[in-house]
């Protein structure tokens, strides 16, 4: 780690680097399995009978040209390597809000292009590193809820030499720049802008009071000296992707929460707690870590507060219509590195919520409510009472949801809620290539998950060993994760049996395997719907619009060299679920990740998030040597027509 500037890394990259320290386990016929997978891979790419089942010709070798009229309303753009944003001809973009922009008039002028934001105003401005977002129309007003996933301390604390906090104020500043911003926005003659001082504007950060619901609420595992009830948590952490409920609330998803904790002394907690730290990557070494919160804020010191990490890693519900409401951490939906949350309504009206755990070799989950959703009815039990299941993908392109219950896991309900990863391991869940966003088709019973990459899938570390996830589950190559050392990623699609999101089983295929046919052959070239004109790697954000187009955002290697030649900066593409055709719509500035997507209520504006622009020292969007600022942009068609 010596030569790596830890503050130049994204939250995901940091977590990859630092946690977990993968264990290896005995060779288990890995070669035999890999060979059989190669055989299967040929089957996937040829995609015989499966294609008919899934209703697509995509991987049969048919080309986009053979398909009927294009469903793409734009002319695709080329890959780019410059420090700005490109969109197709006939479309324009404009910044909606940048890190440091005021949400309240007392913070107007608070942002300085060289010095950032003073601590006194750090919870009065838009947060850093925008990620998932959703828009709600509340009594005719447009309210957008936007995650701020993490901070780049070198940018956010420009007065420090190396970005490491030097005081409690520095820590408080970083804590305030993260979490969620709820903002009223409005469209005027100059486009969309923040409604400063709107009564709906709200900053939720690392110290905002929250409560818990579900099996772990009030449990001993959640109690701390400061909160002996185990019910009054402070803050939401590493808010990555987003979700929404049919009843109009926002779901923010706590991902790499482990990275905020550290130890000032040897940690002497019980074995279950230490096992949990190991599985979730909570650092117990006595060192400053990435943020050194624990150096100035004892709450984050696991030597004295070993239960504090149990209070993060959840799906958190926020009511954007009620600025004074207390966010709820729903423990029934499990504790892991939540990427996003995408719901579907089952045939009988129950609510299914699909969720991924973004770490190498972790799992995909489904929540299914006990009660049915009735518009206007009581929704208070729908994320509290129900069943959490984990996905098993079989190599025959079927799969099933295995319930995590005391009977199936040997764990009680509270432990399943807090140590969900261990519960998944106990029932033999399939280790996945880092599940990022899941998208549910609004008009068809199918869903998609971005499996972004997995540098350690199947990799032999020594003769006779195979990489495992942090729990020791082997990351053997399998049909749904078919590539050893998966550098490009793939998108899996599944259809629940009977078209019912409550079904126990599903059929699956790979919608796309990203790759690079200009530099590689075979599996590394990608699936048939990858070509020189749409190269990308590491699919991450994903939303399906009302017309059924799949919008895919990337968080990958933007070196434009070697394996990644021709891919350019991170980008957003659109995919046709029927033909498999994929076209590039947007390219981001240098160093950025494109993440977060929602629409205005009239569907004439698309909002897109630009995270960590100018990583390693860029100056987008203000340029001229100013501090780089993550931002949400508004994209419109020049003819103001619908845009998804």
Please give the Cα distance from 87 to 239 (Å, whole number): 27
C-beta separation of 220 from 231 below 8 A: no
Radius of gyration of the chain (CA): 23
- Answer for which of 301, 358, 509, 583 binds ligand FEO (CB under 6 A) is 358
- 537, 520 contact by CB (below 8 A): no
Q: Do 184 and 201 contact (CB within 8 A), yes or no?
A: yes
- Asked if 128 interacts with ligand FEO (CB under 6 A), we say no
Q: Which of 255, 473, 484, 545 binds ligand FEO (CB under 6 A)?
A: 255
Q: Which of residues 589-608 bind ligand FEO (CB under 6 A)?
A: none
Least Å distance between CB 236 and ligand FEO?
14
Residue 10 interacting with Ca ion (CB under 5 A): yes
Q: Which does 170 bind (CB under 5 to 8 A by kind): ligand FEO, Ca ion, none?
A: none
Rule CB under 5 A: say whether 254 interacts with Ca ion.
no
Nearer to ligand FEO among residue 163 and residue 556 (C-beta): 556
CB atoms closer than 10 angstroms to residue 460: 16
Binding to Ca ion (CB under 5 A): which residues in 546-585? Answer: 555
Told to check if 240 binds ligand FEO by CB under 6 A, we report yes
In whole angstroms, the minimum distance from the beta carbon of 388 to ligand FEO comes to 20
Q: Which does 433 bind (CB under 5 to 8 A by kind): Ca ion, ligand FEO, none?
A: none
Residues in the chain: 644
Q: How far is the CB of 346 from ligand FEO (least distance, A)?
A: 27
Buried b (16+ CB within 10 A) or exposed e, 483-520: bbebbbbbbbbbbbbeebbbbeebbbbbbbbbbbbeee
Q: Does 238 bind Ca ion (CB under 5 A)?
A: no
DSSP E strands in 498-640: the ranges are 505-513, 539-544, 550-554, 571-575, 582-587, 593-599, 605-611, 631-637
12 binds ligand FEO (CB under 6 A): yes
The residue within the footprint of ligand FEO, chosen from 436, 446, 473, 484 (CB under 6 A), is 436
Instruction: List the 505-513 sheet strands across, edge first.
Output: 338-345, 350-357, 364-372, 386-393, 398-403, 505-513, 490-496, 447-451, 435-440
The smaller minimum CB distance to Ca ion, of residues 242 and 524, is found at 242
Rounded CA gap, 437 and 354, in Å? 9
- Establish if 357 lies at the interface with ligand FEO (CB under 6 A): no
Contact (Cβ atoms closer than 8 angstroms) between residue 219 and residue 329: no
DSSP for 622-634, written as a single string:
T-TTPPP--EEEE
Question: Taking CB under 5 A as the criterion, which residues in 406-445 touch Ca ion?
Answer: 436
- Residue nearest to Ca ion as judged by C-beta position: 555
Phi/psi for 301 (5° steps) reads -95, 105
Q: Which does 255 bind (CB under 5 to 8 A by kind): ligand FEO, Ca ion, none?
A: ligand FEO
State the nearest-atom distance from the C-beta of 313 to ligand FEO, in Å.
13
Contact between 362 and Ca ion (CB under 5 A)?
A: no
Exactly one of 16, 128, 319, 540 binds Ca ion (CB under 5 A); that residue is 540
Q: Does position 149 bind ligand FEO by CB under 6 A?
A: yes
Contacting positions for ligand FEO (CB under 6 A): 11-12, 149, 240, 255, 339, 358, 436
Binding site for Ca ion (CB under 5 A): 10, 12, 436, 540, 555, 593
């Amino acid at each position: 780690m010596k030569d790596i500037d830890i503050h130049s890394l994204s939250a995901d990259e940091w977590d990859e680097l630092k946690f977990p320290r993968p264990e290896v386990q005995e060779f288990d016929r890995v070669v035999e399995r890999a060979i059989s997978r190669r055989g299967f891979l040929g089957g996937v790419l040829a995609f015989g009978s499966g294609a008919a089942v899934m209703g697509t010709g995509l991987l049969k070798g048919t080309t986009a040209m053979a398909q009927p009229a294009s469903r793409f309303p734009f002319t695709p753009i080329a890959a780019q390597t410059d420090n700005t944003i490109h969109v197709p001809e006939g479309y324009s973009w404009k910044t909606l809000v940048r890190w440091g922009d005021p949400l309240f008039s007392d913070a107007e002028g608070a942002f300085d292009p060289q010095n950032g934001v003073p601590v006194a105003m750090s919870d009065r401005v838009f947060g850093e590193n925008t990620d998932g977002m959703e828009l709600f129309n509340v009594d005719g007003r447009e309210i957008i809820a936007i995650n701020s996933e993490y901070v780049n301390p070198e940018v956010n604390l420009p007065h420090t030499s190396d970005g490491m906090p030097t005081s409690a104020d520095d820590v408080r500043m970083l804590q305030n720049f993260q979490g969620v911003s709820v903002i009223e926005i409005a469209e005027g003659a100059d486009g969309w802008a923040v409604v400063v001082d709107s009564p709906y504007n709200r900053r939720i950060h690392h110290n905002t009071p929250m409560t818990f619901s579900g099996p772990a609420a009030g449990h001993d595992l959640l109690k701390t000296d400061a909160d002996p009830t185990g019910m009054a948590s402070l803050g939401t952490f590493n808010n990555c992707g987003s979700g929404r409920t049919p009843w109009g609330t926002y779901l923010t998803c706590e991902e790499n929460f482990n990275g905020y904790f550290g130890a000032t002394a040897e940690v002497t907690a019980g074995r279950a707690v230490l096992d949990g730290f190991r599985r979730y990557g909570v650092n117990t070494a006595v060192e400053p870590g990435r943020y050194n919160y624990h150096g100035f804020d004892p709450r984050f010191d696991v030597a004295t507060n070993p239960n504090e990490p149990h209070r993060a890693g959840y799906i958190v519900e926020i009511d954007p219509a009620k600025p004074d409401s207390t966010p709820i951490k729903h423990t029934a939906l499990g504790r892991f590195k939540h990427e996003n949350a995408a719901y579907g309504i089952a045939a009988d009206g129950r609510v299914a919520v699909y969720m991924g755990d973004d770490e190498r070799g972790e799992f995909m989950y489904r929540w299914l409510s006990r009660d049915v959703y009735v518009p206007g009815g009581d929704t208070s039990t729908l994320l509290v009472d129900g069943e959490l299941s984990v996905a098993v993908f079989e190599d025959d392109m079927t799969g099933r949801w295995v319930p995590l219950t005391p009977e199936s896991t040997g764990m009680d309900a509270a432990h399943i809620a807090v140590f969900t990863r261990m519960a998944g391991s106990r029932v033999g869940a399939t280790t996945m290539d880092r599940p990022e966003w899941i998208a549910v088709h609004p008009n068809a019973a199918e869903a998609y998950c971005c499996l972004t990459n997995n540098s350690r899938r199947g990799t032999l570390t020594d003769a006779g060993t195979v990489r495992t996830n942090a729990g020791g589950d082997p990351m053997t190559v399998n049909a749904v994760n078919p590539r050893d050392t998966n550098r490009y990623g793939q998108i899996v699609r599944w259809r629940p049996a009977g078209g019912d999101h409550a079904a126990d089983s599903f059929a699956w295929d790979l919608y796309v395997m990203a790759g690079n046919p200009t530099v590689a052959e075979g599996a590394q070239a990608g699936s048939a719907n990858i070509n020189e004109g749409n190269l990308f790697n590491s699919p991450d954000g994903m939303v399906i619009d009302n017309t059924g187009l799949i919008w895919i955002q990337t968080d990958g290697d933007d070196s434009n060299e070697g394996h990644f030649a021709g891919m350019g900066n991170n980008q957003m593409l659109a995919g046709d679920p029927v033909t498999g055709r994929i076209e590039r719509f947007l390219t981001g500035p240098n160093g950025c990740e494109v993440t977060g997507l929602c629409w205005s209520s009239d569907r004439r504006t698309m909002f897109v998030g630009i995270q960590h622009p100018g990583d390693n020292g860029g100056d987008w969007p203000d340029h001229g040597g100013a501090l780089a600022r993550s931002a949400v942009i508004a994209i419109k068609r020049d003819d103001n027509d619908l845009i998804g």
